[in-house]
Amino acid sequence: MGFDTFCSPDRSDPFWDWNRTWYTENPDFTQCFQNTVLVWLPCLYLWVCGPIYLIYLHSHNHGYICMSHLNKAKTAVGLLLWIICWSDVFYSFWERSHGSSVLAPVHLVSPTLLGLTMLLAALLVQYERMKGVRSSGVMLIYWLLALLCATVTFRSRILQVLDQTLTVSVWRYTTFYCYYTLLLVALFLSSLTDQPPLFSQAVKDPNPCPELGASFLSRISFWWITRIMVEGYKCPLEEKDLWSLNPEDCSQRVVPQLVHRWKAECQKVIRTEQKTLYSPKTAQHSECKNAQAVESEILIVKTPLKTKEPSLFLALCLTFGPYFLVSCFYKIIQDILMFVGPEILRLLIDFVINSSAPTWHGYFYTALLFSCTSVQSLILQKYFHVCFVSGMRLRTAIIGAVYRKALVISSTARRTSTVGEMVNLMSVDAQRFMDLITYINMIWSAPLQVVLALYFLWQNLGPSVLAGVAVMVLMVPVNAVIAMKTKTYQVAQMKSKDTRIKLMNEMLNGIKVLKLYAWELAFKDKVSEIRESELRVLKKAAYLGAVSTFTWVCAPFLVALSTFTVYILINKNNVLDAQKAFVSLALFNILRFPLNMLPMVISSMVQASVSLRRLRVFLSHEELQEDSVEHQAAAGSLHSVSIVNGFFSWSRTEPPTLKRLNVCIPEGSLVAVVGHVGSGKSSLLSALLGEMDKLEGTVAVKGSVAYVPQQAWIQNSTLRDNIMFGQERREAWYQLVVEACALQPDLEILPAGDKTEIGEKGVNLSGGQKQRVSLARAVYCERAVYLLDDPLSAVDAHVGKHIFDQVIGPQGLLKDKTRVLVTNGFNYLPQVDLILVMSQGEVTEMGSYQQLMATEGAFSEFLRTYTAVDYTGNNEILPKSETKATDSGSTTALFGIPGVRNLSKLSQPNKEGQNVRLKTENPEVGKLMEADKANVGRVQLSVFWAYLKAVGFFLSCISLLLFLTHHLLSLFSNYWLSLWTDDPVVNGTQPDRLMRLGVYSGLGLSQGVAVFGYSLSVSIGGILASRVLHQSMLYDILRSPMSFFERTPSGNLVNRFAKEMDTIDSVIPSIIKMFIGSMFNVLGACVVILIATPLVAIIIPFLGLLYFFVQRFYVASSRQLKRLESVSRSPIYSHFNETLLGTSVIRAFGEQARFIYESDRRVDHNQKAYYPGIVANRWLAVRLEFVGNCIVSFAALFAVIARESLSPGIMGLSISYALQLTASLTWLVRMSSDIETNIVAVERVKEYTDTEKEAEWKHKCPPIPPRWPTNGCIDIRGFGLRYRHDLDLAIRNMTIKINGGEKVGIVGRTGAGKSSLTLGLFRIIEGAEGHIFIDGVDIAQLGLHDLRSRITIIPQDPVLFSGSLRMNLDPFDNYDDDDVWRALELSHLKTFVSGLPDGLSHECSEGGENLSVGQRQLLCLARALLRKTKILVLDEATAAVDPETDKLIQSTIRSQFEDCTVLTIAHRLNTIMDYNRVLVLDRGEIAEFDTPSHLITKRGAFHSMAKDAGLV
């Protein structure tokens, strides 16, 4: 039974009739077609999509929505439609029983199918409600499809009524009109949004993302973001305006997925390795635990030669693949729709040529063109949205995974991955993945587009297309070679960048040392050298880029040229008419995109593969052995800490650092660990923490651990947060801890009490304060075992005694806990339960103080030599030597904090129990760090001007001229082609075709030259600008005063040198290239369309205004979102940097989870600004493409209207240009906003030109004598200084004269102004009043480098930089090796350095981590010995060394600096007892200044200090 009999038994109603549908002025479908296809099409759609949609709903439950009016209405409409369909079926039966004629089956089948479909629709509505779907795209498309099909029938029925009133069935017409009305209602209802599900996140969220509640239409048109765009247009957006992230984009959801998959990948590799290593027999038994243990041991010994790497790529695919696959579906549809344009162009040219075609054909083609381009736009934007969201999740996951890994990597791995590298993994490499994800689909989409284009071209031009294909195939190897070379350059550039960022990081961390030694220029040159090598690579890449641009801009033209040439030459009867030429040209333009993109995608993939490898290597790094310290095993034993036959090393490849350790510590005992510098005291604690590789033996620690490192780790947070360290607040206990750790007086000094913000690495605390905060943190956390690495080294004698008595000692707060105390202070030893004496990594003696003194071993001998101990009557020990000493004036410290009060003595414990929070009324007072601020409003023209100046005016003009030339040539060549196609055909051929061809090819080749020229000039200009901007920023930052670095988080500065410089290096030049290119494209297209169809002039101004308004509207919000995103990026890296410095503390306290949570929170905060940015881009693109689609449609429409007067060539030219216009328009706005948002990088780099600067480094006049200072006489007259202009003087009325060669000790309680005086001497802080003369020269008149390079300081914190030992001693290479070795010998390091395999070339790791603190301190002494200036300042220089080494240092200083002036901020008071004079400071003023013996007889402040230290 055919369709005709199915529709009418007598075949009077055919299924299709061309004359009725197409070749007529008034078209209509046949009745049969309407009753079958138009009814079945929507039904087919719903029955195909329904099951898939049901499965999706079943697996994605968003909650339960209560029955609402909207839902009731939707269901009621569905049921009414079902009733109408069934009523039609019953009417057919009734008609059959009452009628005379035989009823056509279609009247039963179609309404039945439709009825069942309506029932399915009603059920789907209810199921959606139960699964929490608020707006359904599937249902909206169904109702829209049903309505469109019904609309055709609706028109047809009206025409029928007008023509044949008598044959109309009133019942069917009535039900159809009801059906049509209900469809309209259903469509309207389905475009509305239902209420949120019960208990949904959105209800609790104060500012939820509107996407969750947006309707389907709002989602596909991105209308839901309009509100924030309007707000952004009215006034600049702020953080509070940003929505919360969608739950599925949050770190909490995304990162664990990737981590889980990656671990599974690693496990797979381990399993396959085990299979390959052992015979199957062993593998079968490996289920039992013992076998596994044995196997893992064998694994260590016998690793295979080539291990299989775990695949990070696979882990990423499994994590993000499923969601990303949706984008592939969108891309396929979009690719197919792309080819509709050229096909419609063909039909339109046909329509113009064929004058007999009905006029409605033209309008139909125009409408079809508009519909297809609009659908294509929406699908393309949806595709991009999916890609960008995937990219965003990928970045979140990578940052999270790197952060989590950084917390567990072993010390060996830490050496191979520097901080700079890890920060780059987070910033640059994660960004690379994000960029790639947008284009990765082009890998399969580009070939698909090429194949489709070639198919249509073959249809158009036949085999001649093969010539074009040959050209394309030839281009592939060229691009492949370019891509491979680019990869090489990429790797080299990343390597340089890593080194540069690492060095910058270190310079910023050690900036104080650079300034004190006047080393800025040496390090500036080092950075510049690395930067130059980076720029050399960039320049090579720019040459390659120019060749690549040349090939890909010329490729489509060469393809077209070769094809047309072959086409007209193989047969002289082949005529190049408008249809062939312009449809081919439109297809060649489509070809241009995949051909352009492929090399870009390949190079992007190459970059990402480099990043992928770096990431995989980092994530595969060896982790700390989780089982190296047993906590369970110790639970039952009496010993709190035990090590049995322990061998430990910092790296498995090195010999063990600690050997043959056998230590058992009973619960609740106090153990002291003593020994020389480098004997392994700190390593012992690291071994107990599980930070070292355990080679042999067992370690067991019972209970939780608290750790106080030798160099205190302080967070950039309030003082209270530093102490509480994430524990809950217990007021009474907190109070007790603060008093016991002697922090009460410091809290009174601090402007906002314990709410004062502490800067990065504790910059606004002195060494002693940092150490006490670090100790207070450990005490507050109440753990079972305390590992204390010399916490008393940086505090004053009386404070040290107070802390020992109140906290560590037998009567202290920790008296019931197990305490392991590394110390160099021997006066505490009689009070400890057990002493471990260490030497060269072994415990040489062990026992109580009395036992060790009795055994007459090395310990007792050592003690007798270095401490003159008096035994008084009651056996109490009064040591003559003092512990490591003073608290280096908290004034260094209180940089930039208002209201500093100096305390002359430790305040008594608060009897009234007054609260610690003394001054917290205004916590703003305690703010120190300046967060990165986002600028607001438009980017200033001065920023663009600064960039242009950096590029060079001449080069900019040349680039612009070349751009213009290229586009004029391009326009003219296409116009020439249109003239060619309109040439008359004589005897089946075009007479002038060879001339036309020659001119066409000449124009094309000239274009190629222009392209090469502009690409090269823009890239070279970009590199010149990069160099200038980097150099000026580096210089500006190094010229900034110390206070600037204390206020500015180093993360901000590193961000400038990493991310912002990367943008200036590689992003801005390519954006400028694309911006100018697309601008000329748009202008060219508009000119051509206007010439062809002048009527468009009516529309263009209106659309231009709309376009301009949308663009301005968008840029206002987009620019601000980009700034907010930039600003919120720095805290991620600052926190990461901070974490890396304190990993051992975080692990010891078991606080990893809290830090991971904080890092995730910061990443989410950053993505909160990024997400609206990408959605705003889509919002813009949808609207702009609509404007573009309108222009295309109007160009076609006016061409249809004026078809009598238009030549086919001009029309083809006009519409082929119009088809390109949409893409160019969108690209133009994208690029113009990208320029504005990325030029922000220049703005941020230039930011530091206007900040305050230090005085000049060098002064030309008056010249100072070359050997100055010759005597070292210091004359201070009425000197005073303050830390900030709004603060009190920190030093006042200082008038003293120190003669050349005098040795002067400077003492005073915490905050007396000792360090402030040295800062004034070095002009780190400029004096506020008075003068300092050195050998009669006023230092304020000198250049800073002239001054600082001629006086020497050994600072309190021994700072080293990564590089060779020699570089650390002499960065300018001013001395020969003999001098260096002599300095090392005098600083007692010669034996150590000569024992190193590389000697002076030994690489110091970042911050000198691979040397002990004592060794670093000795290297600083060696620096001073090398410079040997007439004035030497010692600032707590021997705080981290044992008394024996201290004694050696003191003797070296006395002998080597005999004729020099030495100022010592006194640490152990006994070291200055033989000095010429002692200066006692109190509250910034001179309290006493005389010889030590006079001061003691005076019984003043110095006397009481000496008494505290047991010296009188």
| pLDDT confidence of residue 3 | 64
**Each residue's pLDDT tens digit, 1468-1489:** 777 788 888 888 888 788 888 8
- How sure is the predictor about 383, in pLDDT bands with cuts at 50, 70 and 90? very high
| pLDDT confidence of residue 940 | 75
The residue written with tokens 């800490």 in the block is: 641
Cis peptide before 1269 (omega within 30 of 0): yes
| pLDDT confidence of residue 759 | 79
Residue 1472 · residue 1305 · CB < 8 Å: yes
The three-state secondary structure class of 1308 is coil
Residue 475 · residue 570 · CB < 8 Å: no
- How sure is the predictor about 1208, in pLDDT bands with cuts at 50, 70 and 90? confident
| pLDDT confidence of residue 636 | 64
- Is the pLDDT at 280 greater than 50? The verdict is no
Token duo for residue 530: 């690395």
- How sure is the predictor about 301, in pLDDT bands with cuts at 50, 70 and 90? very low
| pLDDT confidence of residue 889 | 38
| pLDDT confidence of residue 1106 | 84
- Is the pLDDT at 877 greater than 50? The verdict is no
- Is the pLDDT at 220 greater than 70? The verdict is yes
Average of pLDDT values for 1098-1115? 82
Most confident of 352-356, 459-463, 1254-1258: 459-463
* Residues contacting 139, CB < 8 A, separation 6+: 121, 124, 125, 128, 190
Token duo for residue 293: 């243990």
In angstroms, the CA 1028 to CA 295 distance is 59
State the chain's mean pLDDT as an integer. Answer: 81
| pLDDT confidence of residue 938 | 67
Most confident of 622-636, 810-824, 911-925: 810-824
Average of pLDDT values for 927-938? 60
The residue written with tokens 């993505």 in the block is: 1167
Q: Closest by alpha carbon to 1354, among 1270, 1288, 1412, 1423?
A: 1423
The lowest-confidence range among 231-240, 1063-1072, 1297-1306, 1448-1457 is: 1448-1457
Angle at CA 381, nearest 5°, toward 375 and 387? 140
- Is the pLDDT at 1305 greater than 70? The verdict is yes
- How sure is the predictor about 902, in pLDDT bands with cuts at 50, 70 and 90? very low
- Is the pLDDT at 937 greater than 50? The verdict is yes
**Each residue's pLDDT tens digit, 519-539:** 888 888 888 988 899 889 988
**Each residue's pLDDT tens digit, 565-581:** 898 888 878 888 888 88
Average of pLDDT values for 250-264? 92
| pLDDT confidence of residue 1054 | 83
The lowest-confidence range among 610-614, 795-799, 942-946 is: 795-799
In angstroms, the CA 447 to CA 978 distance is 29
| pLDDT confidence of residue 256 | 93
Residue 564 · residue 576 · CB < 8 Å: yes
| pLDDT confidence of residue 920 | 42
Q: Closest by alpha carbon to 1020, among 492, 546, 548?
A: 546
Query: Percentage of residues in the chain with pLDDT exceeding 90?
Result: 9
The lowest-confidence range among 793-797, 923-927, 1413-1417 is: 923-927
| pLDDT confidence of residue 890 | 36
- Is the pLDDT at 1377 greater than 80? The verdict is yes
In angstroms, the CA 337 to CA 452 distance is 11
| pLDDT confidence of residue 173 | 85
For the sheet with 1337-1338, list strands across it.
1291-1298, 1274-1281, 1329-1334, 1337-1338
User: Which pTM does this prediction carry?
Assistant: 0.75
| pLDDT confidence of residue 185 | 93
Q: Closest by alpha carbon to 1219, among 1088, 1077, 1072?
A: 1088
In angstroms, the CA 973 to CA 560 distance is 12
| pLDDT confidence of residue 879 | 34
In angstroms, the CA 1407 to CA 1413 distance is 11
Separation of first and last alpha carbons in the chain = 124
* Residues contacting 397, CB < 8 A, separation 6+: 254, 255, 257, 258, 316, 319, 320
In angstroms, the CA 239 to CA 973 distance is 51
The lowest-confidence range among 352-366, 420-434, 1406-1420 is: 1406-1420
Average of pLDDT values for 1193-1201? 86
| pLDDT confidence of residue 333 | 92
In angstroms, the CA 916 to CA 750 distance is 11
| pLDDT confidence of residue 876 | 34
| pLDDT confidence of residue 1014 | 86
The lowest-confidence range among 137-146, 349-358, 486-495, 1253-1262 is: 1253-1262
**Each residue's pLDDT tens digit, 539-565:** 888 888 888 878 777 777 888 888 888
In angstroms, the CA 642 to CA 1350 distance is 53
Instruction: Check residues 249 and 1373 and name the one with the higher pLDDT.
Output: 249
In angstroms, the CA 438 to CA 1371 distance is 46
| pLDDT confidence of residue 914 | 40
